[in-house]
Amino acid sequence: MNILVLGSGGREYALAWKISQSKLVDKLYIAPGNAGTNSLGENLNINIADFNIVKETVLSRDINMVVVGPEQPLVDGIVDFFKNDEMLKNVNIIGPDKKGAQLEGSKAFAKAFMEKYNIPTASCFTVTSSNLEEGLNYLTTQKSPYVLKADGLAAGKGVLIIDSLEEAQNELKDMLSGKFGSASAKVVIETFLKGIEVSMFVLTDGEHYVVLPEAKDYKRIGDGDTGLNTGGMGAVSPVPFVTPEFVEKVETRIIKPTIQGLKEENIDYKGFIFIGLMNVDGDPYVIEYNVRMGDPETEGVMTRIDSDLLELLDACAKGKLNEVDYQTSKNTSVTVMLVSGGYPEDYKKGMVMTGFEELDADCIIAHAGTKLNDKGEVVTSGGRVIAVTAHGNNIEEARNKAYKNAEKIKFEGVNYRHDIGLDLMKF
């Protein structure tokens, strides 16, 4: 099979890394990819937001399957574009249709879906400029901290958690007046859930599913969960509090009703579902759905899947996920994300990276914001630059190896968290 992975980050590197090991892959393309994906397959420097260009690429390279990494093309309807095009009818595409992508693209849609299908989540109230007064009153019925979410995609910045009622009321007004552009023309006010977060991943063909390894993500920039929110600074998989009993609750209360709901809504969903969960005293509540894999979770999760990913994706596309042999590793993976100094605010690009040849053979690096410069050197080209993953029999072993290798990669201004996994060692 010829495969095209869409995207350019660490998540796409990890997907391509795993696909490149498949016995079913003939030619692997990544568009646009990064400095690392080029050694897993062939990078194609195309604009993936232009679906006609994607179509031309798929047809001219005889591509059999497209794996969509990021959410934006899904929210923009790339799956519908493929399904509705005579020439692309026989090309499989992994991801939900445009309506299904609303699970991530609209918080209000996701909340209404969860309410309709009785899926545990925080209670909420949706506000637009036409019911602002009701929204301000609703806030007075809530306890601090107050959770305000922009309805639409806001590059991970659209959620505010605020201690003071007055400030929350002011923020609500600001959001409705365009603080996050059109993404916050609608705002969801949610009850605050107290607990520990975990990212669960499901691959579904719309009928059957497999639960992929779960992971814990570290969102803040600083050690001890301090400072600004980022896209994710590291990950650990598996997560010690995700016991078989907890997974059973997630399957019964969340995954099965979600898939049932997708069917009842006539949503065509053959792809990944990322369920952001809060573990509240042993009970799972959905914080958010994403219609793609997580980043940096994927960089760890892919290293813990023993089965052939392409076999899984092919079965997914054919509606036969119930027939696959699916095995995961018992090892623990720890992923440390190396970022540019200044990230998640302003940072420099183009810093030359060194140290790759000193890495241990069993440590896995996933390029994220990297590219090759004119001299063929690997240089930084983004905030999150490269993810270092190592395995061990437990978190401590995996942590030690991951950090030993993370220290070897050098570039001006390099920064990373030193406490990935530390909080989980007490479980």
Please, which of residues 253-292 interact with ligand AMP by CB under 6 A? 276, 287-288
Piece in contact with ligand AMP (CB under 6 A), picked from 4-12, 189-197, 312-320, 396-404: 189-197
Does residue 295 belong to the site contacting ligand GLY (CB under 6 A)?
yes
Residue span binding ligand AMP (CB under 6 A) among the ranges 185-193, 365-373, 402-410, 412-420: 185-193
End-to-end CA distance of the chain: 43
Asked if 294 is part of the footprint of ligand GLY (rule: CB under 6 A), the reply reads: yes
Nearest to 5 by CA among 30, 26, 24: 30
Residue number with CB closer to ligand AMP (193 or 293)? 193
Q: Could you check whether the bond before residue 257 is cis, i.e. omega within 30 degrees of 0?
A: no
How many whole angstroms separate alpha carbon 53 and alpha carbon 5? 14
Give φ, ψ of 68 to 5 degrees: -90, 115
Q: Does 159 bind ligand AMP (CB under 6 A)?
A: yes
Size of the site for ligand GLY (CB under 6 A): 6
Select 108 or 147, whichever has its Cβ closest to ligand AMP.
147
299 binds ligand GLY (CB under 6 A): no
Q: How far is the CB of 399 from ligand AMP (least distance, A)?
A: 22
Q: For the beta carbon of residue 134, count every other beta carbon within 10 angstroms.
A: 12
Give the residues across from 204 on adjacent strands. Answer: 209, 271
d(CA 231, CA 169): 27
User: Strand 234-237 and strand 269-280: pairing?
Assistant: unpaired
Q: Which is closer to ligand GLY, CB of 69 or CB of 284?
A: 69
The CA angle 72-73-75, to the nearest 5 degrees, is 65
Q: Least distance from C-beta 57 to ligand GLY, angstroms?
A: 25
In the stretch 209-238, what mask flags binding to ligand GLY with x, by CB under 6 A?
--------x--------------x------
Taking CB under 6 A as the criterion, the residue among 28, 78, 122, 390 binding ligand AMP is: 122
For ligand GLY, which is the closer residue by CB, 135 or 294?
Answer: 294
Out of ligand GLY, ligand AMP, none, what residue 122 binds, judged by CB under 5 to 8 A for its kind, is ligand AMP
Q: Which is nearer to ligand GLY, 156 or 181 (CB)?
A: 156
147 binds, among ligand AMP, ligand GLY, none (CB under 5 to 8 A by kind): ligand AMP
Tell me the closest approach of the beta carbon of residue 124 to ligand AMP, in angstroms. 8
- The span of 56-64, 100-108, 240-248, 293-301 binding ligand GLY (CB under 6 A) equals 293-301
Q: Which residues contact 427 (CB under 8 A, 6 or more apart)?
A: 240, 241
Give the one entry of ligand GLY, ligand AMP, none that residue 190 binds, where binding means its C-beta sits below a cut-off of 5 to 8 angstroms depending on kind: ligand AMP
Site for ligand AMP in 190-249 (CB under 6 A): 190, 192-193, 197
Please give the Cα distance from 94 to 235 (Å, whole number): 24
**Distance between CA 405 and CA 150 in Å, rounded?**
38
Minimum distance from residue 232 beta carbon to ligand GLY (Å): 3
Nearer to ligand GLY, 80 or 217 (CB): 217
Minimal distance in Å, beta carbon 211 to ligand AMP? 20
Q: Which residues of the shown chain bind ligand AMP in the complex (CB under 6 A)?
A: 122, 147, 149, 159, 190, 192-193, 197, 276, 287-288
Q: Which residues of the shown chain bind ligand GLY in the complex (CB under 6 A)?
A: 217, 232, 290, 294-295, 297
